[in-house]
Amino acid sequence: MSISMYQASVPNFIRQLQALSAILDKAIDHASSQQIDPATLTGSRLAADMLPFTNQIYIATDTAKGCAARLAGVEPPVFPDTETTLPELKARIAKTVDFLGSFRAEQFEGSEQRTVVLKMRSGELSFTGQDYLQGFALPNFYFHVVTAYDLLRHQGVAIGKTDYLGRR
């Protein structure tokens, strides 16, 4: 039996976003118990030229909702990237999970061959749906989720691999 485009995308995005939300709970608890300004966490970066933690959440959520929408042939919702606190970022994740939960597997039928065009600063990128999912959206999504994890871990938040995997 083969795996559908829906099965390869939406449930994985939801599971990982829920794990990320639980990690943010631990970050909130860490900031409170250690009397750390939460802005230290949300503004953290590993290198001066990298995007801060907040942007990692923006991009992960945008990638998940954008991928599902494009594969289903619908317009993705636009989130304004104004969240600055950990609770606001958790709300953004929840809003993304709600959007992802609105899809049905039937909406993805035939999407492996659907043309997906992304407008990037450097120009347009064109993919088949399957190439977009496997070679762009999933790697990009996981990159930003793990970067958010790494930033919090680097700041001393007590999280581990099982938190990242969403296994408690």
In a domain, 98, yes or no: yes
> Residue 28: what pLDDT?
98
Parent domain of 92: 5-103+114-165
In a domain, 108, yes or no: no
167 pLDDT exceeds 90? no
Whole-angstrom distance, CA of residue 144 vs CA of residue 140: 6
In terms of phi and psi (left: phi > 0; alpha: psi -120 to 50; beta: otherwise), the region of 144 is alpha
In a domain, 109, yes or no: no
In a domain, 124, yes or no: yes
Write the CATH number for 126: 1.20.120.450
The tally of domains found in the chain comes to: 1
Q: How far is CA 64 from CA 46, 126, 144, 158, in A?
A: 23, 18, 11, 26
Structure tokens at 13: 């995005």
Whole-angstrom distance, CA of residue 89 vs CA of residue 128: 31
Digit-coded pLDDT (tens) for 147-165: 999 999 999 999 999 999 9
In a domain, 156, yes or no: yes
> Residue 73: what pLDDT?
95
Whole-angstrom distance, CA of residue 41 vs CA of residue 45: 9
In a domain, 43, yes or no: yes
127 bridge partner residues: 116
In a domain, 37, yes or no: yes
In a domain, 73, yes or no: yes
Structure tokens at 102: 């609105």
Digit-coded pLDDT (tens) for 129-149: 999 999 999 999 999 999 999
Span 115-123, mean pLDDT? 91
> Which 8-state DSSP code applies to residue 123?
E
Span 80-90, mean pLDDT? 97
122 pLDDT exceeds 70? yes
